Structure 1
């Protein structure tokens, strides 16, 4: 186990974002008892902002390997991080903060790195086939190929998303995932859950925001839902997303006829 508890240091009276959000105003303590903690809530409830603040306080890197400070859009996250105290059993250096919105940018940057390394290798070969100058470029190229095959951009969005997690998860890491189910089919969501489960056996810990009832069904996960601006512990049957999805599947006409009348 790694991160054990997230505590609000003080009730900051501040009308600036993100302290203006009801979720942040009302937050006091979150205890991460299970290897997997899941947070659900409607759009605009503050899930992403909350996770960004925790990631900044934890010193998480982005999926690209860059530090969060380099992304100026995350500056409010560091304001929130200053107001959070994180209690660790063992602070891990493994892990990352993942936002679905970062994925396309990262995929493109990997493709550019691989292409540039290949071009440089070819240039050096033509100039001097025996030159040791080629080594760093060859290492970059073959490391990327080993991790991602012919490139994430050569796969479907959902497949490459899945491949990315498979390549980047490490034992003992702390992973903050913001809506990782976004591009995944139900089958691949189950596959990702199986991968997450395998990683928890190796000491990894996950904090996940999601809209997916499939993710919420993860066995023994601690489930939280944001209701009226308050982070409340819940169970699978009481989760709003679960109830609405089940009701819709049981009687879709009852919902759809109001939309198309």
Structure 2
């Protein structure tokens, strides 16, 4: 990257670095358990040695339960300054800290032209954020009155895919949790518009639909650590294809 490119780079996160004394404890326990997760151990090692780079546009984190997706995205979101239970850079709530100490070990290298706006959608704790918004008052839908999926679609329209937020960072932890098939398609279109406006997105997902977004970077987490891959080569995609083609092959082993 030449000097002109560097100065015009508007990524909210260019690289994630490790503090010199990072990994020494804090948060839940001393954090040593983080190094037992191959993907997190690789991320930490890279962050210490030059920094982990996030590309412009959309990056998906895909992997089995326990592979480290949520831990990684929570740590990055917290290091960026976002509420660990979800919300915007302007505020959110904290009820009970359950996050790992990873976020306190990291610091963010921003691009010179980067906007500082950001939003963290964490599927299992957005109820507290809805209460926070309700207590603030003001315009917008009453999210508590909506279904799970409807409230996520409202967040997409009002907080993420919104003309007011031209650029910034969106950290999304399994947004598909409450989404129907048609809503996943709606989010796909929204993610593409966000990317076209310059929003940088990091999304942990189990959804082969969301991960199919053309042009996205896909990082697969597993026992190997973190590897870049394509949608067609994702284990997630292969498993869904196999099941939909012949569910009886799976069901006869699962059901008596």
Q: Same fold (TM over 0.5)?
A: yes
Q: Which residue in 2 is equivalent to 1:24?
A: 40
Secondary structure of 2:153's counterpart equals helix
Q: Which has the larger radius of gyration?
A: 1
Unaligned runs of 5+ in 1: 114-139
What is the CA-CA distance between 1:209 and the residue it aligns to? 0.2
Partner of 1:166: 157
Asked if 1:99 corresponds to 2:122, the answer is yes
Residue matched to 1:66: 91
Q: Contact 1:107–1:153 (CA<8 Å) still a contact in 2?
A: yes
RMSD, matched Cα: 2.5
Deviates most, 29-38 or 211-220: 29-38
TM-score, length of structure 2 as denominator length? 0.78
TM-score, normalisation: structure 1: 0.77
Match of 2:58 in 1: 36
Deviation, structure 1 residue 4: 2.0
Partner of 1:187: 182
Q: Contact 1:19–1:80 (CA<8 Å) still a contact in 2? A: no
SS in 1 for 2:176: coil
Give per-residue Cα distances to partners, 1:189-230, cap 9 Å, x unaligned.
110121121122221110000000001101100001112050
For the 8 Å contact 1:178–1:210, the answer to whether it is kept is yes
- 1, 4, 13: which is aligned to 2:14? 4
Q: Secondary structure, in 3 states, of the residue corresponding to 2:198?
A: coil
Q: Which moved more, 1:242-251 or 1:159-168?
A: 159-168
Name 1:49's counterpart in structure 2: 71
User: Structure 2: how far apart are the matches of 1:154 and 1:81?
Assistant: 32
Is the CA contact 2:14–2:110 (under 8 Å) kept in the aligned structure 1? yes
How far residue 95 of structure 1 moved from its aligned partner, in angstroms, is 1.2
Deviates more, 1:162-171 or 1:55-64: 55-64
Q: Is the 8 A contact 1:223 1:233 kept in 2?
A: yes
What's the secondary structure of 1:201's corresponding residue?
helix
Match of 2:171, SS state, is: strand
Measure, in 1, the Cα distance between the counterparts of 2:233 and 2:41: 24
Give CA deviations for 1:54-87 in whole Å, capped at 9, x if unaligned.
112111243164367x4551563xx323433433
Comparing both structures, which one devotes a greater share of its residues to helix?
1
1:109 shift after superposition: 4.1
> CA 1:243–1:34 in structure 2 vs 1: closer, same or farther (change >3 Å)?
farther
**2-side partners of 1:30 and 1:192: how far apart?**
27
Q: Do the aligned partners of residues 74 and 258 (structure 1) sit closer, same or farther apart at CA in structure 2, a change above 3 Å counting?
A: closer
